[in-house]
Amino acid sequence: MADIDASGGGKQKGNKKRSKKQSTKVDMTPMVDLGFLLITFFMLTTTFSKPQSMDVVMPDKSKDKNKQNQDVKASHTISMVLGDDNKVYWWQGIKENGVDPVVTATDYSPKGLRKVLLQKVAEIPKLVVVIKAKKKAKYKNIVDVLDEMSICEVPTYAIVDITPDDIKLTDKK
């Protein structure tokens, strides 16, 4: 039990007699108990921040022959290569008749990548975006592109490995 003793005693100074003061005892046990009860209450009722995660749907690894692949028109496809220096290289379609597609560079700002995606989503109802990253691309850039896909409500997008042809196309730019 915790007590505070504030006794004055009955000491004499010279010829004067002092009256004996009553000692004041304050029991600190209930206050300590109350403190622990409050700490326990707030710990149990507090909501801790929950980790935020992004749902990523991975392809099925089973080799089911009955499933058919969906064919996508090249004109409905946009390829994006995430490069170094916070640049995004994009083009629509594929190489046809030996002619390379027109590669355009942009950045991750709302006036850059978001503007392109919103325009293409409005033009092409079944847009498919293929995302590829160079070795020097930052992880933050991949997260930024995935966020932009969500913001612009792109219906279908995929992250794939970059090919040497893609590297050649972006190096020319």
Domains and CATH numbers, the chain: 74-172 (3.30.420)
Q: What is the mean pLDDT of residues 111-124?
A: 90
Q: What is the mean pLDDT of residues 153-172?
A: 86
Q: Roughly how many angstroms between the first and final C-alpha of the chain, as a whole number?
A: 80
Cα Rg of the chain, angstroms: 35
Looking at the DSSP bridge assignments, the partners of residue 128 are 77, 156
Q: Residues 113, 106: contact at Cβ < 8 Å?
A: yes
Q: How confident is the model at residue 14 (pLDDT cuts 50, 70, 90)?
A: low
What's the rounded Cα separation, in Å, for the pair 115 and 108?
10
